[in-house]
Amino acid sequence: MNNAFQQEMKAWAEENPRLWWAFEQLDDTDELRDRALAGIVKENMPETVIDDLVRFADGLENRERAETAGTVSAPPGVGLRRPFNIVVTRMTKVNWNRDKTFRVDFVTEHGWSGFFDTKNPRLVERVSKSQNKALTIVGEVERHLYDFLVVLGGRVRAL
């Protein structure tokens, strides 16, 4: 590693300690790690990479809290549709094909977390009113990003 690159890495780490911590937890072969390194080198970190690092850091912290509390359990399997008790950590607007879509990030008391996308205005309103409070949703696990981070797909609804 050349000295200029090391300086860029050090500067970014000092400016973004939480994201740097999450970055260091990523596997060397992780695609997110590659995207983050490219952003550091270009000195222009894409917002999507920052969002993914924040989501990963939230998930890591949530898993650590559950381990400490003794409530950790594996996330549900792919394809499973059932109710989940969640706490919404953030909701952001994303534009998929110019539609008003919102991405909802959440954590659970069991140490796994995730996100889902929705266009449903009633669900968006319900989620925005319950941010940082417990909420029960019904959704289907579409895929696992990591062993503690899931993506919900299909029709997600709040109970």
- 130 near 88, Cβ under 8 Å? yes
Domain coverage including residue 59: 3-69
Residue 110 lies in a domain: yes
Q: How many domains does the chain have?
A: 2
Q: Are residues 58 and 26 in the same domain?
A: yes
For residue 74, is it within any domain? no
Token couple for 15: 């400016």
Residues 128-148: pLDDT tens digits?
Answer: 988 778 999 999 999 998 989
Give the pLDDT score at 100: 84
Select from 110, 64, 70 the least CA-distant residue to 87: 110
pLDDT digits (tens, 9 = 90+) for 78-130: 998 999 999 999 998 887 667 789 999 999 999 999 999 999 999 999 999 88
Q: Are residues 139 and 85 in the same domain?
A: yes
CA distance 141 to 153: 6
Tell me the pTM. Answer: 0.87
Which stretches of 38-148 are assigned E, i.e. beta strand?
81-96, 99-107, 113-118, 134-146
pLDDT at 1: 56
User: Would you state the structure tokens that stand for residue 11, as one six-digit string?
Assistant: 């500067």
CA 99 to the chain's CA centroid: 21
pLDDT in tens, 3-60: 777 888 898 899 999 999 999 999 999 999 999 999 988 888 898 899 999 999 999 9
27 falls within a domain: yes
The answer as to whether 102 is a domain residue is yes
Q: Residue 147: count other Cβ atoms within 10 Å of its Cβ.
A: 11
Q: What per-residue confidence (pLDDT) applies to 154?
A: 84
Residue 122 in any domain: the answer is yes
Question: Which of 27, 42, 69 finishes a domain?
Answer: 69
Domain end, chosen from 40, 69, 98, is at 69
